[in-house]
Amino acid sequence: MPHGRERTRFLALLVTALLLLCAGIATGDRGSPPARGSWVGSWASVPTAAPVTATPVLDDQTIRQVVHLSLPGDRVRLRLTNEFGTEPLRLGEVHLARRAGTSGTDIVPATDRRVTFSGEPAVTIPAGAPMLSDPVPLAVPARADLVVSIHLPEHTPVTTLHSFALQENAVADGNVTDDESVAPVRTVTQWYFLSGVAVHTSARGAAAVVAFGDSITNGFSSEQNANNRWPDLLAERVRGLGTLNLGVAGNRLLHDPNPPPGSEAENFAVFFGQSALRRFDRDVLSQPGARHLVVLLGVNDLGHPGSVAPISETVSAREIIAAHRQIIARAHEAGLRVYGGTILPFEGTPGFSSEENLAKWAEVNDWIRTGGEYDAVIDFAAAVADPADPERLAPAYDSGDHLHPNDAGMARMAATVPGRLFR
């Protein structure tokens, strides 16, 4: 041990080194300044597989896709996906930009940004995997439309997509990812290889709510290109909240798609997505900034067996309730608040409406309303029911199939969600 002045100098150097070490620990790697703000989901969709009989193909083409953001930010990050691919997915170039106007896929050129992955402009996504982009410096306001352009330089089957986008997207020849406008060779109402957009925000307490559901949450029967899905309309009401639509048409709590052999459903059932219990971690827990969860699921568990699923997959009300309890437990374990949405009425819907199914529906909804297990209840069913026949959608909210709400019904559902839940 040194003595006198040497000891004093040694102690001073030691204290300085410890202070530098503590600063490095507090601020991150190599003493970099602390990051301010956080990443929060602003848009999302559920990826599914494509039917073997109807898999789209891109070949030296660009898919230009429009997504409607819910939360503003100063930077943007994409989540691309090859989760249902069996081969690596090669992307030649990816760009994003603000949309010009309120229709079409034209972009504002000054906002065009090349997207990179670990600093590289091209990326190969392994089979079965998602891929996050590098942060892209682009300020986006709330409820902005973002255009994401992906160039596929080689023959590429579209094995991972979201089928019912209710949004017209464009396929154009060649690499036109940075063009102000493109000449579509076809228009598609699906999202290809894209499942999330997060924004960086410095807003205090910024968080996301995940709407976890089926075709009703997905917006089926609402107006195309209008963003009239109930989660979109909720985002109009509740400012400063990322609203993420993780609804997928035909989704069930307890079963993956399983079309009867030889049935027409073999051509589309795969679009229904993995069961809610199976996809929960990916579609809920992986969402950046998720703090709230709204659950609206169960009607397809009642209606699908015997039509687009085997009759052997018929479930009881107790089994549906048990699945909801699993979602509650897994959400609470991750620190999310979770709100139960009552299942909408469906009397008059072919294949769904039966005395047995309506009895199960009533039992499940009674448990959601009175069981006390959800952190709060959102009584969607009561909001859109016919006052003269609560087992049926009110005519003003019925799209015509007695199962899916129209645009007015979507607005009614959004208005039913108490904004106080998110404060």
Structure-token pair, residue 317:
């009300």
**Tens of pLDDT, residues 302-350:** 999 999 999 999 999 999 999 999 999 999 999 999 999 999 999 999 9
Which secondary-structure segment (H or E) carries 172?
A: strand 169-173
Q: Which pLDDT score, from 0 to 100, does residue 23 have?
A: 40
Instruction: Write the burial class of residue 390 (CB in 10 Å: 0-12 exposed, 13-18 middle, 19+ buried).
Output: middle
Instruction: Write the burial class of residue 52 (CB in 10 Å: 0-12 exposed, 13-18 middle, 19+ buried).
Output: exposed
CB 270 within 8 A of CB 49: yes
- Please tell me whether the overall predicted TM-score, pTM, comes out greater than 0.75 for this model: yes
Q: What is the DSSP letter of 227?
A: T
Structure-token pair, residue 22:
């503590």
SS3 at position 140: strand
Q: What is the DSSP letter of 87?
A: S
**Tens of pLDDT, residues 105-164:** 999 999 999 999 999 999 999 999 999 999 999 999 999 999 999 999 999 999 999 999
The number of helix segments (H) and strand segments (E) in the chain equals: 9, 25
Q: Counting every residue, how long is the chain? A: 423
Statement: 205-423 belongs to CATH 3.10.129.10: no
- What are the extents of the domains in the chain? 1-34, 43-201, 205-423
CB 171 within 8 A of CB 188: yes
CB 91 within 8 A of CB 133: no
Cα–Cα dist 14/24, whole Å? 15
335 conformational bin, left if phi > 0, alpha if psi -120 to 50, beta if neither: left
SS3 at position 282: helix
